[in-house]
Amino acid sequence: MSRRSILIIDDSPEDREAVMTALRRDQESRYEFVEASTGAAGLTEIRNPDRSFDLAVLDFHLPDMDAERFVESLIDGDTIPPLSIVLLTGSMTDDLDLEILQRGVQDFFSKSLISPELLPRIAKNAIERHGLMTRLVASERKAEEAMMVAERANRAKSQFLASISHELRTPLAAIVGFADILQKNPNAADADRMLGMIASSGEHLTTLVNDLLDIAKIEAGTLEVDAEPCDVQQVVEMVCNLMQHRAADSGLRFHWSVTPRCPTCVRLDAVRLKQILINLIGNGIKYTESGAVRCEMEYDYGTQTVVVRVADTGPGIHPDIQQRLFTPFVQGPTGADNRRAGIGLGLSISRQLAQLMDGKLELESTSENGSVFCLAVHAPEVTDTLVEASNQRAASEPRPVDICRGQRVLVAEDVRANQYLMEKLLKRLEISPEFAADGKEAVEKVERAAVDGDPYRLVLMDMQMPVMDGYEATKRVKAARPDLSVVALTAAALKGDRKRCMAAGCDDVLHKPIDYKKLESTLVRFMVEAAAR
């Protein structure tokens, strides 16, 4: 049997007793009663955190306040009162303001009509109606909150699209513009400078695309790091030499130092370390209008940790932004000329990478005179014995060009520009590739080569092609030649893309834009495997 908690607010003890007597005779419910003789005492009881009431029976005329003032005090800005309210009137002719009934009072009745038959029914109905109203108001609030979240998401999406459009078009404009000039005047006096700017803009464009792919991998939980022995001093010096030119172009001084007590070789992901440092130093340069940027590296032998601090003399970071600094798409303050614009992914990606490298990235201090970011990543020292053994293995291994020279390779690629690029890359390994413009042609060439007794050693397969895509073509190639290695060439780098390629039968995946070193090592690996069969 349900048990209800009822607060009776009435200055008449007799009326309070009459209400309690009528409710006690209810055979279906049990009630607990609390009494208050004034409106102030009633408000105190309701606001007591140790109490919870289902219903308040409120006298219409109280000595210290009327019912309307009581309800207003109780609501205090909310849509409805926190409990059901039934008004108790002296007679049905009392001057009731209908507005009070619209503010959450559920019902009213005359003291002359108090009875065991009527009052329990009024109480139950009032409690049920209040419950329905509470759920309705909660649903409306959730709907409003969802709408606000959607509006914020739409604004963020629009801002992101505007930012990414600007950031992509800027290097594209340089690439297309300089390429057009060189095409019309290939012997221009400053051709080398223009080619350098095309290469630089291409690298910037690749960085933007890689950042977008990295943030997608982070959200999908598929971002990985690959720790290998490396000379961390050399990595830091390489980045600092690169960023020194960028700082000079911005009219800034750039100072850097590397501790002489650093091990010759440590184990970490050098590529990801470079990515983090370029982001940190690049941000320092971007947000510093005058002064200097400083990078200092040291090694903690106790914890086997590489520690890098990047400091600038920029405007500092506002406390409001500090809280969201490592959130994707959050940027620092942009100037009136918008030269500090970006897509706001660098710090978010850098912190995630630092954590994956068993480390951390933090804003160590900030003031009006600049900011200091501290990166610390675990990097165990690799002993001289292991380094020497690795060097000896490398020295004894044949050169990649000696392994790949003259091998028969098929490249399935429908875009002429990409065909030309692959031809140039493979010729560095003294391979003269053959080409198929679609998956169907690739399958036919593989089958014909096997029949002729001069089979291919490797197929580089673009996965998006007309007539027949790379997925179907790979399945058919593997059906005809299970021993033939197929390496996917794809611009898709999100969650599930690699798995889909491997499920089709591919032996490995190379992502566009193709990195020559990865292409070289992949070719060497599969050529060695093919020779061993």
Report domain extents, the chain: 2-138, 160-220, 229-378, 408-532
The pLDDT of residue 531? 80
The pLDDT of residue 494? 67
The pLDDT of residue 94? 52
Q: Comparing 42-46, 222-226, 311-315, which segment has the lowest mean pLDDT?
A: 222-226
Statement: residue 169 has pLDDT above 70: yes
Output the six-digit token pair for 42: 């009633």
Pairing verdict, β 360-367 and 305-312: unpaired
- CA-based nearest residue to 122, from 106, 135, 134: 106
The pLDDT of residue 425? 95
The pLDDT of residue 452? 92
Statement: residue 315 has pLDDT above 60: yes
Q: Comparing 188-197, 245-254, 377-386, 423-432, which segment has the lowest mean pLDDT?
A: 377-386
State which fold the 160-220 domain adopts: Helix Hairpins (1.10.287)
The pLDDT of residue 281? 94
Give the pLDDT band (50/70/90) at residue 332: low
Greater pLDDT, 279 or 200: 279
Pairing verdict, β 485-490 and 508-511: parallel
pLDDT tens digits, one per residue of 459-517: 999 999 999 999 999 999 999 999 999 999 998 766 678 889 999 999 999 988 888 88
2-138 belongs to which homologous superfamily? Response regulator (3.40.50.2300)
The pLDDT of residue 127? 82
Kindly list the distances between the CA atom of residue 489 and the CA atoms of 53, 288, 413, 501, in Å, as whole numbers in the listed order: 68, 40, 9, 9
Secondary structure class of 267 (helix, strand, coil) = strand
Statement: residue 337 has pLDDT above 50: no
Identify the top-confidence range among 89-103, 132-146, 184-198, 388-402.
184-198
Rounded CA-CA distance 291/313 in Å is 6
Statement: residue 329 has pLDDT above 70: no
The pLDDT of residue 260? 82
Statement: residue 206 has pLDDT above 90: no
Give φ, ψ of 312 to 5 degrees. Answer: -140, 170
Dihedral, CA of residue 233, residue 239, residue 245 and residue 249, to nearest 10? -140
Instruction: Report the length, in residues, of the chain.
Output: 533
Statement: residue 376 has pLDDT above 70: yes
Give the pLDDT band (50/70/90) at residue 179: very high
Question: Would the CATH topology of 160-220 be identical to that of 229-378?
Answer: no
Rounded CA-CA distance 13/35 in Å is 9
* Percent of all residues in the chain with a pLDDT value above 70, rounded to a whole number: 88
Rounded CA-CA distance 16/124 in Å is 18
This prediction has a pTM of: 0.59
HEC secondary structure over 495-527: CCHHHHHHHHCCCEEEECCCCHHHHHHHHHHHH
Statement: residue 526 has pLDDT above 90: yes
Q: Which CATH class is domain 229-378?
A: alpha beta
Report which secondary-structure segment, H or E, holds 274: helix 270-286
Q: What is the mean pLDDT of residues 404-423?
A: 94
The pLDDT of residue 278? 92
Statement: residue 58 has pLDDT above 60: yes
Greater pLDDT, 225 or 78: 225
Are the beta carbons of 71 and 100 closer than 8 angstroms? Answer: yes
Rounded CA-CA distance 356/360 in Å is 9
Statement: residue 397 has pLDDT above 70: no
Q: What is the mean pLDDT of residues 433-451?
A: 96
- CA-based nearest residue to 264, from 395, 379, 396, 393: 379
CATH code: domain 408-532 is 3.40.50.2300
Output the six-digit token pair for 289: 């209008």
The pLDDT of residue 338? 44
Q: Which residues contact 408 (CB under 8 A, 6 or more apart)?
A: 434, 449, 454, 455, 456, 457
Are the beta carbons of 485 and 454 closer than 8 angstroms? Answer: no
The pLDDT of residue 339? 47
- CA-based nearest residue to 402, from 524, 273, 258, 231: 524
Statement: residue 342 has pLDDT above 80: no
Identify the top-confidence range among 5-14, 57-66, 266-275, 435-444.
435-444
